[in-house]
Amino acid sequence: MSLTPWMELLLLPPGPMLWLSLFALCLLWRGRRRSGLALGLFSCLALYLAATPMGASWVARPLESSVLPVQDLQQLRSAGYQAIVVLGGGRDPQAMEFGGRDVANATLLVRLRYAAHVQRQSGLPLLVTGGLPRGGQVAESELMADSLRQDFGVPVRWQESLSRTTRENAELSAPLLQAQGVQRIVLVSHAVHLPRARANFESVGFVVLPAPTGYTLAPGSLTRSERWLPQHESLAATRRAGHEWLGLARDRVLALLP
């Protein structure tokens, strides 16, 4: 699902909490003190929870629990899988330290690092998929291919450079792979993204093995105080999971339409 900046502001944290706070101020200005205070406290609490590891885990874990890590990468080829597909995850536009050219951002590098590991262990060929969802100098798949070759030292066989959404990743990758007889794929992305991505790729005829990476930080690995300490990484994880819940809801609504 592709969200415009305005939709993200309305629907994804911290946007809804900010709108609620503004509404609370309007209520206070109109003399509705009790309602305004209650709504203001609620929006502050919601923003606080969204920025904590515990809050991020509550939103992300139901999605991530449905995709388990792949245990034996060296057996993928013998199990019948034929290719690895890596989904795009964003760019740093005009990075000054790279001479003003676009490069893969931190989120995308997490996926590429794991895809390189899967490729080395399995020997399967790689496809990278991603176009220009919000503009840029070059397609995201080109950034991915360059990084995999130069930074991680693994080859890329196919590039799909026109897609703008996860659904288009699947629809436009299918002709490239199925023309080569590829029906069984290993799909690499963030764990929170894979339930929706797997459904999209299965809908175009692939047998999909999810290969998740970038799990949301488990609160059990933190001290009690750290679990409730707000941090920008947790807010980003809550926002990413919220994006996936919205995408799943959208896909289910579209599936009900004629």
Q: Tell me the pLDDT tens digit for each residue of 11-66.
A: 899 999 999 999 999 999 999 999 999 999 999 999 999 999 999 999 999 999 99
Superfamily for 73-213? HUPs (3.40.50.620)
The answer to whether 191 touches 216, Cβ cutoff 8 Å, is yes
Q: Tell me the pLDDT tens digit for each residue of 101-150.
A: 999 999 999 999 999 999 999 999 999 999 987 666 799 999 999 999 99
CA angle 17, 23, 27 (to 5 degrees): 140
Q: How do the domains of the chain map onto residue ranges?
A: 5-64+224-256, 73-213
Please return the burial class of 47, using the count of CB atoms within 10 Å of its CB with bins 0-12, 13-18 and 19+: buried
Q: Confidence band (pLDDT; 50, 70, 90) for 1?
A: very low
Residue for token digits 């047998």?
207
**3-class SS at 238?**
helix
pTM for the model: 0.92
